[in-house]
Amino acid sequence: MSHLEISDVGITFPTPKGPFVALQNVNLRIERGEFIALIGHSGCGKSTLLNIIAGLNQATSGGVVLSGREVDAPGPDRAMVFQTHALLPWLSAYDNVRLAVDQVWRGRKSAAERHAWTEEHLELVHMTHARDKRPGELSGGMRQRVGIARALAMQPEVLLMDEPFGALDALTRAQLQDSLAELHTELGNTVIMVTHDVDEAVLLSDRVVCLSNGPAATVGEIIDVPLPRPRDRLALAEDAGYIRARAEVLRFLHSSHPAQAA
pLDDT digits (tens, 9 = 90+) for 16-30: 989 999 999 999 999
In 3D space, the residue among 190, 215, 257 whose CA is nearest the CA of residue 60 turns out to be 215
pLDDT of residue 166: 86
Model confidence over 48-107: pLDDT tens digits? 999 999 999 999 999 999 999 999 999 999 999 988 878 999 999 999 999 999 999 999
**DSSP label at 213?**
P
Alpha helices in the chain (DSSP H): 46-54, 93-105, 111-124, 140-153, 170-187, 198-204, 233-236, 240-255, 258-261
- Cα within 13 Å of Cα(40), Cβ side: 23
State pTM to two decimals: 0.93
Residues 202, 249: Cα–Cα separation, whole Å: 9
Residues in the chain: 262
Residues 227, 224: Cα–Cα separation, whole Å: 9
- How far apart, in Å, are the Cα atoms of 164 and each of 3, 143, 196? 23, 11, 11
Q: Where are the domains of the chain?
A: 1-77+161-262, 86-155
Q: Name the β-bridge partners of 117.
A: none
Residues 251, 246: Cα–Cα separation, whole Å: 9
1 pLDDT more than 90: no
262 pLDDT more than 50: no
Across 208-229, average pLDDT: 95
CATH architecture assigned to 1-77+161-262? 3-Layer(aba) Sandwich (3.40)
- How far apart, in Å, are the Cα atoms of 152 and each of 166, 216, 238? 20, 33, 33
In 3D space, the residue among 169, 185, 167, 165 whose CA is nearest the CA of residue 230 turns out to be 185
pLDDT of residue 136: 94
pLDDT of residue 237: 87
- How far apart, in Å, are the Cα atoms of 41 and each of 58, 150, 196, 224, 248? 22, 29, 8, 19, 15
In 3D space, the residue among 181, 177, 175, 183 whose CA is nearest the CA of residue 228 turns out to be 181
Residues 9, 194: Cα–Cα separation, whole Å: 17
